[in-house]
Amino acid sequence: MKRLIASLLMIIALMMIVSCAAPTAAPASPVVQTVVVKETVVVKETAAPVVVTATPAPKPAAQDTGTIFVMGPTRGVDEERFLLVLADFMKDNPKIKVAYAGTAEFETLINVKVEAGDPPDVAMIPQPGLMAKFAQAGKVVPLWPEVVKLIDQNLPGWKDLGSYNGKVYGVFHRVNGKGFVFYNKPEFEKAGYKIPTTWDELQKLTAAMAATGTPPWCITMESGAATGWVGTDWMENIMLRTQPVAAYDRWIAHDLKFQSPEVKNAWQIMDKIWSDPKLVYGGMKYIGTAIWQQAGTDLFAKPQKCQLVLQGSFYTAFFPEDVQKDMDNQVGVFPLPPIDPKLPTTLEVGGDQYVVFNDRPEVRKFIEFLATGKSAAAWAKAGGAIFAHKDQDMSLYKSAIEKSFATALTSAQATRFDASDAMESAGNVAFWKGVTDYVGGKSIDEVLKQIDAGFSK
**Predicted confidence (pLDDT) per residue in 230-256, tens digit:** 999 999 999 999 999 999 999 999 999
Q: Is the pLDDT of residue 389 over 70?
A: yes
User: Which residues lie across from 291 on neighbouring strands?
Assistant: 222
Same domain as 192, residue 171: no
> Which residues are CB-neighbours of 76 under 8 A, at least 6 positions away?
none
Runs of H (alpha helix) within 224-326 = 229-242, 245-252, 261-274, 283-289, 294-299, 321-324
Q: Is the pLDDT of residue 303 over 90?
A: yes
User: Which of 25-34, 169-178, 340-349, 446-455 is predicted least confidently?
Assistant: 25-34
- 406, exposed or middle or buried, with CB in 10 Å at 0-12, 13-18, 19+? buried
Q: Looking at residue 270, what is its pLDDT?
A: 98
> Which residues are CB-neighbours of 450 under 8 A, at least 6 positions away?
430, 433, 434, 437, 442
Closest Cα partner for 421 from 168, 264, 222, 229? Answer: 229
pLDDT mean over 410-426:
84
Same domain as 173, residue 184: no
Using 50, 70 and 90 to split pLDDT, how confident is the model at 192? Answer: very high
Residue 409 lies in a domain: no
Residue 146: Cβ within 10 Å count: 11
Same domain as 382, residue 331: no
Using 50, 70 and 90 to split pLDDT, how confident is the model at 277? Answer: very high
Same domain as 240, residue 215: yes
Q: Is the pLDDT of residue 327 over 90?
A: yes
Q: Is the pLDDT of residue 352 over 50?
A: yes
Higher pLDDT, 366 or 154: 366
Q: Is the pLDDT of residue 50 over 60?
A: no
**How far, in Å, CA of 124 to CA of 352, rounded?**
6
Same domain as 156, residue 83: yes
Residue 378 lies in a domain: yes
Same domain as 316, residue 272: yes
Residue 59 lies in a domain: no
**First CA to last CA distance, the chain:** 28
Q: Looking at residue 139, what is its pLDDT?
A: 97
> Which residues are CB-neighbours of 121 under 8 A, at least 6 positions away?
68, 69, 70, 356, 357, 358, 360, 363
**How far, in Å, CA of 150 to CA of 290, rounded?**
41
Residue 244: Cβ within 10 Å count: 15
Helix (H, G, I), strand (E, B) or coil at 390: coil
User: Which residues lie across from 331 on neighbouring strands?
Assistant: 184
Residue 100 lies in a domain: yes
Same domain as 356, residue 342: no
Total number of domains in the chain = 2
Q: Looking at residue 372, what is its pLDDT?
A: 97
Same domain as 438, residue 314: yes
Using 50, 70 and 90 to split pLDDT, how confident is the model at 203? Answer: very high
**Where in the sequence is the domain holding 104, given as residue range(s)?**
2-16+32-49+65-177+352-399
Residue 212 lies in a domain: yes
**How far, in Å, CA of 352 to CA of 83, rounded?**
15
Q: Looking at residue 131, what is its pLDDT?
A: 94
**How far, in Å, CA of 243 to CA of 255, rounded?**
14
Using 50, 70 and 90 to split pLDDT, how confident is the model at 364? Answer: very high
Residue 376 lies in a domain: yes
Q: Looking at residue 157, what is its pLDDT?
A: 75
**How far, in Å, CA of 445 to CA of 452, rounded?**
11
Q: Looking at residue 317, what is its pLDDT?
A: 87
Q: Is the pLDDT of residue 12 over 80?
A: no
Using 50, 70 and 90 to split pLDDT, how confident is the model at 319? Answer: very high
Closest Cα partner for 224 from 457, 453, 2? Answer: 2
Q: Is the pLDDT of residue 14 over 50?
A: no
Q: Looking at residue 412, what is its pLDDT?
A: 65
Q: Looking at residue 410, what is its pLDDT?
A: 76
